[in-house]
Structure 1
């Protein structure tokens, strides 16, 4: 049975969707909502059902009405008056959808724009091979030996040097080398929270964070997140006061999937709020080196004075996806994480660690990242022009300040099921966005990953997506809410 066929649930579905648009920051205070008739068509339900949802939203102070004009997002905080915010945690169930998406991407012979992977043509093979040749000439037996946790001492010294650019002063002993960023995140979450704990997250957020929460049997508390400033610290602070949160888990730099960079002032306040509440932070900072040098923020970890922020990153998105080498600066949780690594035999390839140590030591890291940022900037410029020219009017797109992950919000009337089907008919796959939300509900958002050169195949896929977006929007009447009246939103 379709979820819209359950009479007593229809109004709740409409209400929950509108709340998401408001709490995610997509609809700002004062924005006019779509008309009642437009919402009725969008959800294929009665006008009475929509009116019931809007009445409930008005009672909860999410919206207000102006007679004969319409409904508007409340200017009084966009939330419920009783506690200020909604604190309903949810059980995460995205793993199956993520596995399906990744399997489909891996099985396709054409380029996939669904996976956030740095493709071969942007990987520094020549420089990495030079490092391999140098190491091979030394005939060092340690290359094939076991490097036990916490990892190769020379590489940990290099990483400590890299951390200085992030504003974090630490030594080699503070660094734990891990088998990629995902393992670092999982180890961090296990170290600070138990099964059943509530984890505060951005919404939407990286599906790997949601998978980790789901795998460890924890619950997620989606915190309202703005497309420019990141997680709403006011909302988070209120949740912390009510003792609803065990840990804060976020991706504040070139956030996946929305691409924003949390400002330094917000990072400083977030760190202070967490410290006062004695709640740890897990900071996933995997895209830092893709930010232009003059726009780089300080890591949240740099504001940490109590050791309760765990910083995680890796070389997978910038240098060598296949090497699977990451790291964490674990603060006061170092020993707990190190014990997990030993108990689970989580040693990292000695060859990969040695190659990356040589790569950084020879200055190749800076050389490669400078070139990569230039390439990605050019690709991003092309995509921005394409969205302006080819995507439907009403599409919202905030160009990220670096990186290769792009998030677009198609007009609200877009039939996303139809869009996915049309794309498949034309030989490409558009993944749903439910994998980025703890409750699994998809929006009209599309994440497009451009960690590749703009080949003819890639350009063709982008144009197919734009064409399908137009076609998927023609099944209903045009709908243009004020929150999406402009083609582009600016940070």
Structure 2
């Protein structure tokens, strides 16, 4: 039975009024909002109606909930009507380390790490490729392959890029040690310490870690569940010279799962080109989108070479191989120089296996099967949210992939939820690691890159139970 309340549409009125208060400057960054009860009395509406309006604002990073305290205008909120566009110092590394350490433990169930588990990886197909390579006595499997990487693999990747709307040749592609290394190389190539990086909020913690590690600052740009980065907000920042680089994950975004529409991608590219600001596009989940719904890469709209496109095989084929790539445009030589100076050669065996894997036609075969399995799991997740999670929980099923973003009711104590879930043998990460300032909201990222066994189903029910126990 659907337990999510269905308040009347008066929540739109409440939401619009609160938004005007924030955008007009009446309520500045950091200010505490009136309580839920006060707002309900003001609008002569139910508490559920007010909570629905606040949940929408929180989902789009206008406000932040502090358990047992109330709602506050989000720190660093940059209102498009003329407020200061305040960048922030990133502070998430400690939370990420704690989450990954828990995820590596074999003693508890982890639903926090975005890793494709062995049972969903194409183990048999990869083994065939490995056996075929081993049978070729004249092939030097242990030989070093220097940057930019195995030529035949780069030709295969150029073919994959055509599916993403990007026409490029093997020489345009640099093979990297996974997607994260590609992202770091890209950011170092286009910006220096102290630079301001416009990011989606919330965003993938790996992007935040890279910004933090390189001594840069983040400018959080709010996002919408259906269209991604708010381009009005971004345009306001670009026109005022507040952005040195745009860094985003527009396809099955981690953690919210949206797909930025093609029209918005084209507009983003135009804005960045007009401002002469580079874009770093993290597109690691592309192959998990159904073929009929696939967008063109932002790189498709790049006519100046200022978009750096990064991707990897880690989320689709071989998490342990750590093979990624970037199409670097006018920054190719700068990134290649970094790779040589840091000796960033990529495993020759992993490159050869993936070259064989794609050449045999296994890539399309495997990804089609994987998409079907993940779609079924999204159906399970949606059913659970509607049946066992607390009333007021909001969830939009992603159009592919295995990362699910669940918005728990306002006021949920996320630290208490983590503690209670861990005591029951289930680990989840803090939502704060998806926000540049580390502030905890009520978003919960659930990763299902695995077969849903009775143990996993039990873990999801534990999360729902603990969420209910963590309400004020």
Q: TM-score range by the shorter chain?
A: 0.7 to 0.9
Following TM superposition, the consecutive aligned residue runs of length 4 or more in structure 1 with deviations greater than 6 angstroms are 53-56, 61-67, 70-75, 78-82
**How far 1:33 sits from its partner (Å)?**
8.3
Question: CA–CA distance in 1 between the matches of 2:262 and 2:80?
Answer: 31
Is 2:88 aligned against 1:90?
A: yes
**How far 1:83 sits from its partner (Å)?**
5.0
For the Cα contact (< 8 Å) 1:60–1:80, is it kept in 2?
no
Partner SS state of residue 444, structure 2? strand
Partner SS state of residue 58, structure 1? coil
For the Cα contact (< 8 Å) 1:379–1:454, is it kept in 2?
yes
**How far 1:147 sits from its partner (Å)?**
0.3
Aligned to 1:480: none
For the Cα contact (< 8 Å) 1:85–1:235, is it kept in 2?
no
**How far 1:225 sits from its partner (Å)?**
1.1
For the Cα contact (< 8 Å) 2:148–2:175, is it kept in 1?
yes
**How far 1:192 sits from its partner (Å)?**
0.1
RMSD of equivalent CA atoms: 2.6
Is 2:438 aligned against 1:440?
A: yes
Partner SS state of residue 93, structure 1? coil
**How far 1:80 sits from its partner (Å)?**
7.4
**CA 392–247 in structure 1, closer or farther in 2 if over 3 Å, else same:** same
Question: CA–CA distance in 2 between the matches of 1:383 and 1:59?
Answer: 37
Aligned to 1:58: 26
1:31 counterpart (7, 10, 15): 15
1:353 counterpart (333, 347, 351): 351
What's the CA shift string for 1:268-324, capped at 9, x where partnerless?
000000000000000000000000010000000000000000000000000000000
What's the CA shift string for 1:341-376, capped at 9, x where partnerless?
000000001100000000000000000000000010
Partner SS state of residue 406, structure 1? strand
Question: CA–CA distance in 2 between the matches of 1:114 and 1:66?
Answer: 35
**CA 29–150 in structure 1, closer or farther in 2 if over 3 Å, else same:** farther
Question: CA–CA distance in 1 between the matches of 2:23 and 2:264?
Answer: 34
Q: How does 1:123-134 map to 2 (within 5 A)?
A: 123-134=121-132
Unaligned runs of 5+ in 1: 1-26, 35-52, 477-491
Question: CA–CA distance in 1 between the matches of 2:247 and 2:351?
Answer: 27
For the Cα contact (< 8 Å) 2:113–2:447, is it kept in 1?
yes
Question: CA–CA distance in 2 between the matches of 1:29 and 1:203?
Answer: 24
Aligned to 2:143: 145
**How far 1:417 sits from its partner (Å)?**
2.1
2:394 counterpart (390, 396, 399): 396
What's the CA shift string for 1:71-91, capped at 9, x where partnerless?
98999xx88789534410000
Unaligned runs of 5+ in 2: 1-10, 45-49, 63-76
Is 2:68 aligned against 1:69?
A: no
For the Cα contact (< 8 Å) 1:92–1:213, is it kept in 2?
yes
**How far 1:109 sits from its partner (Å)?**
2.4
What's the CA shift string for 1:178-212, capped at 9, x where partnerless?
00000000000000000100000000000000000
**How far 1:176 sits from its partner (Å)?**
0.2
What's the CA shift string for 1:31-58, capped at 9, x where partnerless?
1789xxxxxxxxxxxxxxxxxx999963
Partner SS state of residue 249, structure 1? strand
**How far 1:68 sits from its partner (Å)?**
3.6
2:365 counterpart (344, 364, 367): 367
Question: CA–CA distance in 2 between the matches of 1:80 and 1:149?
Answer: 41
For the Cα contact (< 8 Å) 2:89–2:218, is it kept in 1?
yes
Q: How does 1:326-341 map to 2 (within 5 A)?
A: 326-341=324-339
Aligned to 1:238: 236
What's the CA shift string for 1:10-34, capped at 9, x where partnerless?
xxxxxxxxxxxxxxxxx97851789
**Bigger mean CA offset, 336-345 vs 427-436:** 427-436
1:296 counterpart (294, 304, 318): 294
Question: CA–CA distance in 2 between the matches of 1:142 and 1:116?
Answer: 34
Aligned to 1:179: 177
**How far 1:419 sits from its partner (Å)?**
1.2
Question: CA–CA distance in 1 between the matches of 2:279 and 2:338?
Answer: 19
Partner SS state of residue 447, structure 1? strand
Partner SS state of residue 374, structure 2? helix
Partner SS state of residue 322, structure 1? coil
TM-score for both structures, normalised by structure 1? 0.83
Aligned to 1:257: 255
Question: What is the aligned length?
Answer: 428
Aligned to 1:105: 103
Question: CA–CA distance in 1 between the matches of 2:450 and 2:24?
Answer: 46
**CA 55–399 in structure 1, closer or farther in 2 if over 3 Å, else same:** closer
For the Cα contact (< 8 Å) 2:183–2:310, is it kept in 1?
yes
**How far 1:377 sits from its partner (Å)?**
0.5
For the Cα contact (< 8 Å) 1:240–1:277, is it kept in 2?
yes
TM-score for both structures, normalised by structure 2? 0.86
Q: Which has the higher contact order (CA 8 A, sep 6+)?
A: 2
Aligned to 1:489: none
**CA 177–54 in structure 1, closer or farther in 2 if over 3 Å, else same:** closer
Question: CA–CA distance in 2 between the matches of 1:82 and 1:452?
Answer: 41
Partner SS state of residue 308, structure 2? strand
1:380 counterpart (374, 378, 381): 378
Partner SS state of residue 401, structure 2? coil
**CA 245–148 in structure 1, closer or farther in 2 if over 3 Å, else same:** same
For the Cα contact (< 8 Å) 2:99–2:428, is it kept in 1?
no
Question: CA–CA distance in 1 between the matches of 2:265 and 2:280?
Answer: 13
For the Cα contact (< 8 Å) 1:196–1:219, is it kept in 2?
yes
For the Cα contact (< 8 Å) 1:308–1:332, is it kept in 2?
yes
**How far 1:110 sits from its partner (Å)?**
3.3
